[in-house]
Amino acid sequence: MKSSGAMAVKQKQDPSFEEGLQQLEEVVNQLEDGDLPLEKSLELFEKGMKLSEGCRKQLQEAETKVEILLRKDGEIEPQPFELDDE
């Protein structure tokens, strides 16, 4: 029995933050070498922009999840996490 075309197509998952960052670093290194044809450079630039956006979104999502619970007037109030500038 043949499977339908829809079943044969795998859903593409976004890379983890670490994987995305590693792939972005590889793209940057290839672009910095400068020995690529224009078409390949544009293709890598587009890939890098997508990876950068994906990493930024993951960081933003993580930032919204990280909260410090403070007691204020007897109530627990979520506060955004802020790093000390030390």
**pLDDT per residue as tens digits for the range 36-51:** 999 999 999 999 999 9
Q: What's residue 11's pLDDT?
A: 43
Residue-number span of the structural domain to which 24 is assigned: 15-80
Q: What's residue 67's pLDDT?
A: 58
Q: What's residue 53's pLDDT?
A: 96
8 occurs within a structural domain? no
Q: What's residue 70's pLDDT?
A: 55
86 occurs within a structural domain? no
- The two three-digit tokens of residue 2, written as one number: 């043949």
Domain count, the chain: 1
> What parts of the chain have a pLDDT lower than 70?
1-12, 67-74, 76-78, 80-86
9 occurs within a structural domain? no
Query: Hey, what long-range contacts does 24-29 have (CB within 8 A, 24 or more apart)?
Result: 24/48, 24/51, 24/52, 24/55, 27/51
7 occurs within a structural domain? no
Q: What's residue 62's pLDDT?
A: 83
30 occurs within a structural domain? yes
10 occurs within a structural domain? no
3 occurs within a structural domain? no
5 occurs within a structural domain? no
